[in-house]
Structure 1
Amino acid sequence: MLVKSLQELPELNESLKDVQKAKEEKVNMYYWGSKGNSITLEPTPFKGIFGLAIKQIACGNKHIAILTETGTVYTEGEGTYGALGLPHLKKDTTTLSLVPQLKNINIKEIACGATFTVALSDVGNVYIWGTLKWSSHFLLPCRVKSLERVFITKIACGGHHILALSKGGRVYSWGRNDWNQLGRDTTISSNAIPTKIKGLKLVESISCGALHSLAVTTMGKLFVWGNNVDERSSPIHPDAIIPTPADITINIGTGDSIKKAIAGPYNTWVLTKNSKIRRWGPFLDKRHMAKYVSLQDDNGKPIPIADIEVGNRHCLILTENGEVYSFGLSTYGQTGQGTTETVEEPKRIAMLTQRMTSISSRGDFCFCFSGIMKSLLGENLLSIFNSQSSFPDVVFHFKDNKKIYAHACILAARSSVFKNQLLDIKTKYPDKGLIDIEITTHPYELFIDMLKFIYSDRIDFSDIEKISPLSIEYEIPMLNAYVQLLRREISSVPDSTFHDDFVKALLPEDSTITKLFGNVSFILQEQHITTHKVFLVARFEYFKTMFEHGMIESQTNLIQLSGHGATTEAVHAMLQFLYSDKLDIDVNVALALIPLATQYHLSRCKSLCENIIEKEVDVESVAYVYQVSRFYGATRLQGFCLKIIQEDIVDVKKSESWKMLSEEEIREINLNNFN
């Protein structure tokens, strides 16, 4: 009873009522099909985990991993193989449980193999746990050490093999190799060490089937390798095995460029940018597809396709308009059409009346999402929105004495209309502490929803049409783009600028917004570096305590930086992280930032610094980096340095940085090296 136990939902004959209730309660996820012993024929509401919204679900043979929008991972299912990542638990569980070892790591992507789970952090680190048929078993998440110095951006899992894509567009593979699914021209049955696939460059996407793999390059070329029985990898290669990546782009006959390619369990699928789908390999007991699959509306016009996902013998299609279609075998309800009969042609899943934004499938299990994903920065800012204790400097007044408290720096960074209005008021009345703005033409409820979007970059789609006049009046590009998408005026939404808006508007030294509305300064020697209390309070617990509990800085609005060798570049980097939750700095600035991150307990900032430094450490600098990491308690970086020192001890001892080590530090290194 694995799937139904997730939510303890009513029986199937109540599903129509559930969907209506879900619509009323703004449920944003549904699931159907089979996982374990439960079969669900129609989309069934999934309300989330302990109040957390879901970003991604990945399925293994008998376990599920769920990634929340805040970067935490939960697991459930068969624990025999350790795929749940739970301490002291090697048994089945029907209760979703947090994977504790990943609690303080911001995970951005997950994937499941048959009996193991893989997670990718936002700083490019890969973690794995479960039963690996090619290596040791890991009951708890372990970082993949051999990829420590490679920034990984995407991961994919087959039944018993893994692909990882680096920031530089190279692909690493490891695991079982029975059918050359690792893309190496070798007869070894498995390889436990991630190894770069030769000749495969400038890759932008990867996918794993059960026994074959594929990659698409930035030039739109499609490479396949591995099991080719029944032409599941390539329709033009007669051999049962393709040992190394083969370019089949010019032979797939798409006539346009590739939007997405998927290695299914027994076949390969391609979605083109012209919204056509082609498949080769077994499907519905047929080897070849005689024509492309495409969708048309009642007037015969093509329906733009946003995404496709495949399971064992079925396919899901997500349109640009948010509708979900399915076709294929439905023995276990995997088409979501309320039947166990095969669905020969794509058919819209009528039960899904909300606009969906994401689909996913594995085996005979399917799920889809609606809504805009959250970000950590957005959630931080939303937590202090409309709060009188968060140092607001703007208050909007409505009839019936309703008020909304806001922050000029956030409003001005996100809306050009607010920026001009607020700068004009502040220029005329420089001593005005709290800016009062009367709102007479818009309802309180819609205005507060618009402001929530400004603070978080997300909003409920059910309200977005009503907010259209506000998005136009206040010139909020992303909000207006979502309105246009809903009206089918555009086919896709541009990339969000949310994380960059604040950096561009508030960080430059000549920022007018910060000059006029900045209300706290870091003092570095005689230099004043001005910032905004609202960001410090919303983002960092240390500063929240400082300003809310009467410390001297809360009275002077000055924060002295001394005793840690702080540099101007490091302070600006800290503010970059403050405004964007990201770091775009070189290794020297990262080293200078670690002391500040340590002083102010910025654990995520510190982790990002460690990741940047790890990619650049060499035998000449490793002793110095070891000193820094040891002194400031950067334990992960310290361990990384020890490993390099142990591997290259002779060359390290010849470096200038080695000569700067104290006797105690050398003794500690020798002790670790000996052990």
Structure 2
Amino acid sequence: MDDEPPPQGVSAKALEATLLSALKMLDVGKWPIFSLCSPEEIKLIRQACVFGSAGNEVLYATENDEVFVLGMNCSGCLGTGDMQSTIEPRRLDSLCGKKIACLSYGSGPHVVLATEEGEVYTWGHNAYSQLGNGTTNHGFVPCQVSTNLVNKKVIEVACGSHHSMVLTSDGEVYTWGYNNSGQVGSGSTANQPIPRRVTSCLQNKIVVNIACGQMCSMAVVENGEVYVWGYNGNGQLGLGSSGNQPTPCRIAALQGIRVQRVACGYAHTLVLTDEGQIYAWGANSYGQLGTGNKSNQSYPTTVIVDKDRVVEIAACHSAHTSAAKTQSGQVFMWGQCRGQSVTFPHLTHFACTDDVFACFATPAVMWRLLSVEPDDHLTVAQSLKKEFDNPETADLKFLVDGKYIHVHKVLLKIRCEHFRSILNNDDEIIEMSEFSYPVYRAFLEYLYTDNIRLPPEDAIGLLDLATLYRENRLKKLCQQTIKQGICEENAIALLSAAVKYEAQDLEEFCFRFCINHLTVVTQTQGFADMDHDLLKNFISKASRVGAFRN
């Protein structure tokens, strides 16, 4: 066979699977609650939502569509059938295999979840009927909400403090729960125990996006208009007043502006237009409107977030923090930042808006269900890794110890001075006899990945190659690998190799190891066979550091 599995018995398919698994791994490291999970558990996570009054609860789904929860379990919000807190992940059997599409949560907390099939499940706090099951009994396990949602496919969910809202695939909005300020949009202030469609002026509209503040609700319709209802004491409805609104009302001040998305904070609102601009209104005690001051605004106000187009806005009904991501990938935040006030959009060092809420918001909860990108997009570096030893795209083969290694001439020339000088366009196969197959394969793979995968005992040969080809960075990596494999039996051999290849860092390391294990090292065969000059230098240097003192 032309190809041989890479060193250490790892198959090419296994390596590719490992790479893809790494690509799909969710970055949850900035959320403290995940420190309760093992690295092995975290590697399997594909979706996650941190919620609760202090970010002390989390639900996550794995690559096998298993669903787990852990945390404080306030009001039974973990759905485990009890109110016991847990620092060990507990499996929610009733949701395993369901494939979660979206999730939101309230302040109780209660949880509303929709599956990819469009089914809705709720559990947790229910004193205001926010679970939609017609009762006010807390829900300790996930139960499907079917009343008035039969034959409806739910594609988006949103929760306020104690009310719930869902959007169906045909553009209808259904609400239920707490309604003291008209936040369910029914026209009254009576709590609503089961889902009912929000009609009024939304009757003949197709809604494309929904959001909830603590006690208000928002909907964007397909022509870009924004409709609002519920509590308005801070001007969060954007109607120019502070009076509550019991039924949906269009924001007239946005006439002629086509809104794509709406996001609600505790008592402030952000919208993103089709031109990549942000408007904000509502409470502003922490500067969460990004206007440079702390004055509330009851009308939509333009937010200047750099000169770049904004592609994502973020807010959470439990926080006074705002965030945005631009087309170039820059992430900005403003509002409450770990207790401080940021009144203008501030450029962060983050790559996603989710990290803003993990590190700056109070409480540190997620503004959305965090999911792995579904398209498995590869970076340039990841693409190059994948193409190493790929016969389908390679235009050059190295024949080493009777085995082929498939590579790409242009990459070798870009990455290595040695290949720039020796490769010709008409080369198809190059025989290599100076180095072993594991060593040369590791070298070529290094050019694709910037890393070496080689047992310490083979890294001596790679150190020889790195010295010959004047690859200084590779030389350093080889020394690090060799250090990991040192023992009393091979210490002298490694010391000899370090001297031969002028690897000073490795030489010093091996010398120190020999001194620290001098009695055993001097009894090995390697010490007995030691080169005369090397032995002489070793004894001299050992004497200088006091190795032979009684």
TM-score, scaled relative to structure 2: 0.55
**What is aligned with 1:316?**
323
Which secondary structure state, in structure 1, belongs to the residue aligned with residue 334 of structure 2?
Answer: strand
Which secondary structure state, in structure 1, belongs to the residue aligned with residue 352 of structure 2?
Answer: coil
Q: Cα distance, 1:283 vs. partner?
A: 1.4
Match among 44, 47, 68 for residue 55 of structure 1? 47
5 Å matches for 1:534-613? Answer: none
Match among 114, 118, 123 for residue 124 of structure 1? 118
**What is aligned with 2:228?**
224
Q: Distance in 2 between matches of 1:375 and 1:217?
A: 28
Alpha carbons 1:65, 1:73 under 8 Å: kept: no
Q: Cα distance, 1:109 vs. partner?
A: 1.2
**Residue-by-residue CA offset, 1:349-378 (whole Å, 9 max, x unaligned):** 13x3xx4386674753256999962479x9
Which secondary structure state, in structure 2, belongs to the residue aligned with residue 342 of structure 1?
Answer: strand
**What is aligned with 1:209?**
213
In proportion to residue count, which structure has more helix? Answer: 1
Alpha carbons 2:214, 2:266 under 8 Å: kept: yes
Residues 324, 184 of structure 1: alpha-carbon distance in 2 compared, 3 angstrom cutoff: same
Higher RCO (CA-CA < 8 Å; seq separation 6+): 2
TM-score, scaled relative to structure 1: 0.46
**What is aligned with 2:352?**
356
Alpha carbons 1:75, 1:99 under 8 Å: kept: yes
**What is aligned with 1:292?**
302
Q: Distance in 2 between matches of 1:321 and 1:218?
A: 27
**What is aligned with 1:182?**
184
**What is aligned with 1:422?**
none
Q: Distance in 2 between matches of 1:357 and 1:46?
A: 25
Match among 144, 157, 160 for residue 158 of structure 1? 160
**What is aligned with 2:98?**
105
Alpha carbons 1:256, 1:274 under 8 Å: kept: no
Q: How many residues align?
A: 348
1:245 aligns with 2:245: no
Q: Cα distance, 1:124 vs. partner?
A: 0.4
5 Å matches for 1:384-395? Answer: none
Q: Which moved further from structure 2: 123-132 or 263-272?
A: 263-272
Residues 64, 183 of structure 1: alpha-carbon distance in 2 compared, 3 angstrom cutoff: same
Which secondary structure state, in structure 2, belongs to the residue aligned with residue 321 of structure 1?
Answer: coil
Q: Distance in 2 between matches of 1:171 and 1:366?
A: 25
Alpha carbons 1:315, 1:327 under 8 Å: kept: yes
Which secondary structure state, in structure 1, belongs to the residue aligned with residue 340 of structure 2?
Answer: coil
Q: Cα distance, 1:399 vs. partner?
A: 3.3
1:90 aligns with 2:77: no
**Residue-by-residue CA offset, 1:543-601 (whole Å, 9 max, x unaligned):** xxxxxxxxxxxxxxxxxxxxxxxxxxxxxxxxxxxxxxxxxxxxxxxxxxxxxxxxxxx
Match among 297, 311, 323 for residue 306 of structure 1? 311
1:73 aligns with 2:67: yes
**Residue-by-residue CA offset, 1:211-263 (whole Å, 9 max, x unaligned):** 00010001111000001112121332452x10100011x3137x632121122
Alpha carbons 1:210, 1:265 under 8 Å: kept: yes
Alpha carbons 1:28, 1:371 under 8 Å: kept: no
**What is aligned with 1:418?**
none
Alpha carbons 1:73, 1:107 under 8 Å: kept: no
Alpha carbons 1:395, 1:437 under 8 Å: kept: no
**What is aligned with 1:235?**
239
Q: Cα distance, 1:303 vs. partner?
A: 1.3
Q: Distance in 1 between matches of 2:40 and 2:267?
A: 32
Which secondary structure state, in structure 2, belongs to the residue aligned with residue 274 of structure 1?
Answer: coil
Which secondary structure state, in structure 2, belongs to the residue aligned with residue 232 of structure 1?
Answer: coil
Q: Distance in 2 between matches of 1:48 and 1:194?
A: 40
Residues 67, 80 of structure 1: alpha-carbon distance in 2 compared, 3 angstrom cutoff: closer
Alpha carbons 2:270, 2:279 under 8 Å: kept: yes
Which secondary structure state, in structure 2, belongs to the residue aligned with residue 101 of structure 1?
Answer: helix
Q: Distance in 2 between matches of 1:27 and 1:283?
A: 33
5 Å matches for 1:436-455? Answer: 440-441=408-409
5 Å matches for 1:142-541? Answer: 142-146=143-147, 147-188=149-190, 190-199=191-200, 200=202, 201-239=205-243, 241-248=244-251, 250-252=252-254, 256-284=257-285, 285-288=294-297, 291-296=301-306, 302-311=307-316, 312-330=319-337, 333=338, 340-350=339-349, 352=350, 355-356=351-352, 361=357, 364-365=363-364, 373-374=373-374, 399-400=397-398, 440-441=408-409
Q: Cα distance, 1:322 vs. partner?
A: 2.1
Q: Cα distance, 1:282 vs. partner?
A: 1.1
The one-letter code matched in structure 1 to 2:153 is F
Alpha carbons 1:58, 1:64 under 8 Å: kept: yes
Which secondary structure state, in structure 1, belongs to the residue aligned with residue 43 of structure 2?
Answer: coil
The one-letter code matched in structure 2 to 1:50 is I
Alpha carbons 1:58, 1:111 under 8 Å: kept: no
Which secondary structure state, in structure 1, belongs to the residue aligned with residue 30 of structure 2?
Answer: strand
**What is aligned with 2:452?**
none
**Residue-by-residue CA offset, 1:20-47 (whole Å, 9 max, x unaligned):** xxx9999734536x99xx9xxxxxx997
Q: Cα distance, 1:98 vs. partner?
A: 3.0
Q: Cα distance, 1:171 vs. partner?
A: 0.3
Identity of aligned residues (%): 23
Residues 283, 357 of structure 1: alpha-carbon distance in 2 compared, 3 angstrom cutoff: closer
Residues 220, 56 of structure 1: alpha-carbon distance in 2 compared, 3 angstrom cutoff: farther
Residues 24, 59 of structure 1: alpha-carbon distance in 2 compared, 3 angstrom cutoff: closer
Q: Distance in 2 between matches of 1:349 and 1:437?
A: 44
Q: Cα distance, 1:96 vs. partner?
A: 3.6
Alpha carbons 2:26, 2:47 under 8 Å: kept: no
Alpha carbons 2:25, 2:43 under 8 Å: kept: no
Residues 69, 202 of structure 1: alpha-carbon distance in 2 compared, 3 angstrom cutoff: farther
Residues 231, 107 of structure 1: alpha-carbon distance in 2 compared, 3 angstrom cutoff: same
Unmatched segments (≥5 aa) in structure 1: 1-22, 39-44, 297-301, 334-339, 379-385, 387-393, 403-435, 445-465, 468-675
Alpha carbons 1:314, 1:326 under 8 Å: kept: yes
Alpha carbons 1:225, 1:245 under 8 Å: kept: yes
Larger Rg: 2
Q: Distance in 1 between matches of 2:38 and 2:315?
A: 21
Q: Cα distance, 1:278 vs. partner?
A: 2.1
Q: Which moved further from structure 2: 279-288 or 366-375?
A: 366-375
Residues 161, 367 of structure 1: alpha-carbon distance in 2 compared, 3 angstrom cutoff: closer
Unmatched segments (≥5 aa) in structure 2: 1-21, 130-135, 286-293, 379-385, 413-447, 450-550
The one-letter code matched in structure 1 to 2:304 is S
**Residue-by-residue CA offset, 1:388-428 (whole Å, 9 max, x unaligned):** xxxxxx977773579xxxxxxxxxxxxxxxxxxxxxxxxxx
Which secondary structure state, in structure 2, belongs to the residue aligned with residue 50 of structure 1?
Answer: helix
Residues 173, 272 of structure 1: alpha-carbon distance in 2 compared, 3 angstrom cutoff: same
The one-letter code matched in structure 2 to 1:192 is P
Alpha carbons 1:225, 1:242 under 8 Å: kept: yes
Q: Distance in 1 between matches of 2:354 and 2:329?
A: 8
Q: Distance in 2 between matches of 1:399 and 1:46?
A: 42
Alpha carbons 1:233, 1:281 under 8 Å: kept: yes
